[in-house]
Amino acid sequence: MIPLSQPDITDAEIRAVTDTLRSGRLSIGPRQVQFEEAVAERTGRRHAVAVSSGTCGLHLIMLALGVGPGDEVITTPFSFIASANCILYVGAKPVFVDIDPRSLNMDPEKLEKAITPRTKAIIGVEAFGNPVHMDRLAQIAQAHEIPYIEDCCEGLGGVYRGHPIGSFGRAGVFGFYPNKQITTGEGGMIVTDDDRLADLCRSMRNQGRGEMAVPANTSGLDNRGGSWLAHERLGYNYRLSEINCALGVAQMGRLDAMLEARRRVAASYIRRLMDFRDLILPTVEEELAEAMSWFVFVVRLNDTYTHVERDRIITGLRRHDIGAANYFPCIHLQPFYRERFGFAPGAFPIAESVSHRTIALPFYNTLDDTQIELVCLTLKVMLDREQLMKR
C-alpha cells in the first residue's frame, strides 16, 4: 500500500517524546517555549502561540479581532473547511471569493469587489502550499484597513518574494496534523507581530487566565498576571501539551531537509507526468522553485472529464492500493453551508470546476522513485480506461 500521506518520524522525535515523558512536565513548560521560538524565528514573527490545532488557532484569531454576529469575513471556497468554520464559530457570515485557476488561491480582482462596510477580516489560504497572490491580497486588505489573516496551515517553511509564509498579514495560523509538512500529532501555532493580539490569544488558549499565571503545583504566584484561578476573560482550553511540543521542536530541527525531500518528490512526479495530455500539473512559478513548501501533490484532469470520471479514477487507484483523494470539495457546497446560507452550484464556477477534477496523489518525504513510478503507471492505466470508455 502506498498511502496518501505519512508522517516522517525518526529517532530524534521518539527520543524527544520519551525525554519529555521522563521529565514529569507534561503541560506548560520549556518545550512549548522552544517550539514557539522555533516557529517565530522561522516565520520572522515576534510572537508564536502554540495551540491544540490549526482550527483552534483560527478560532482564537477571530475572537481576538472581535469578529462577531453581523460581521462578514471573506475567504476562499477552495480550502479545507476549517478556513470557513472559524467564521461560523463566532457567529459571523462567510463571504466567499472565487479563485484564480492557476494558483488556486483567492483571486485578488474578485476580492476587491467582495469588500463591504461589514467586512471585518479577510482570510487568505496558500492552497496546497502555493503562496501566489499573498502579497496582493494583503495589500488590498491594508488599503481598506481590514485585518488580513493567513490560514497558512498548508505552507510552513515557504517563502514568497522574500517574505516567509505566515508573515503577510496581521496574523498567521499553522496546523500540525499528521499530513502537514511537520506534525505534532495534533497541534497548531498562531504567529503575529501584534503584542496585544498575542497576549489575548495566550490568555484565551489558557482558560482566560492572565498571561503570566503559573500552575498551582508550581512554587510562587506571579503578581503581574494573577493567579491560576483568576480568569480575566472567557477562555478555552486550547493548550498544546509538552509531548506535542517536543515532537514539534524535533520536527522543526529537520524542516529544511523535509522540505527539500518534498521538493524532490514533487519534481519527480512532474518529470514523469509532464507528457500525460489529460493532466494539468500544479503550476508553480519559476520564482518559487527554491522556496515552495509542498503540502500535497494535486493534479487536475482537463475539462473533458466529469467529476464522476474523476471519482472513478480515484476509486481505481485505491483498488490498486494507492492512496488518492478529491482535495478539496468546495466549502460553500458542503451540506450545512448550502442549508444555512442557500449556496447552490454555479456560485463560484472556477473553484467548482477545479474541485470536480482534482486528484491528490500519494505525497510524503520518504516516497521513493519506484513508488512514484508505480503511482504514475497506475494513473496512466486509469486514464487510458476512461478514454476507451468515452468512445
Ligand X SMILES: *Cc1c(COP(=O)(O)O)cnc(C)c1O
Catalytic-residue membership of 180? yes
Q: Which residue in this structure is represented by grid cell 497576549?
A: 199
Residue 114: enclosing H or E segment and its boundaries?
helix 108-114
Cβ neighbour number for residue 14 with a 10 Å cutoff: 12
Contacting residue, 32, 40, 49, 54, with ligand X by CB under 6 A: 54
Q: Nearer to ligand X by C-beta: 79 or 167?
A: 79
CB of 327 to ligand X, least distance (A): 9
- 58/153 Cα distance (integer angstroms): 10
- 30/16 Cα distance (integer angstroms): 12
Q: Nearer to ligand X by C-beta: 72 or 154?
A: 154
CB of 151 to ligand X, least distance (A): 5
Phi, psi of 74 (to 5 degrees): -90, 135
- 372/327 Cα distance (integer angstroms): 19
Q: Nearer to ligand X by C-beta: 186 or 386?
A: 186
Write out the three cell numbers for 382: 486509469
**Length in residues, the chain:** 391
Contacting residue, 20, 32, 83, 192, with ligand X by CB under 6 A: 83
Q: Is the peptide bond before 174 cis (omega within 30 degrees of 0)?
A: no
Of 42-50, 80-88, 105-113, 244-252, which part binds ligand X (CB under 6 A)?
Answer: 80-88
- 193/244 Cα distance (integer angstroms): 24
171 with 190: CB under 8 angstroms? Answer: yes
Q: Confirm or reject binding of residue 43 to ligand X (CB under 6 A).
A: no
Contacting residue, 5, 32, 75, 79, with ligand X by CB under 6 A: 79
Write out the three cell numbers for 216: 498551582
| Binders in 151-170 for ligand X, by CB under 6 A | 151, 153-154
Q: Residues 93, 180, 380, 390: which is the catalytic one? A: 180
| Binders in 94-133 for ligand X, by CB under 6 A | 125
Q: What is the DSSP letter of 337?
A: H
CB of 73 to ligand X, least distance (A): 14
Contacting residue, 96, 168, 177, 337, with ligand X by CB under 6 A: 177
Q: Nearer to ligand X by C-beta: 188 or 362?
A: 188
Q: Confirm or reject binding of residue 55 to ligand X (CB under 6 A).
A: yes
What is the set of active-site residues? Answer: 180
Chain residues binding ligand X by CB under 6 A are: 53-55, 79-80, 82-83, 125, 151, 153-154, 175, 177, 188
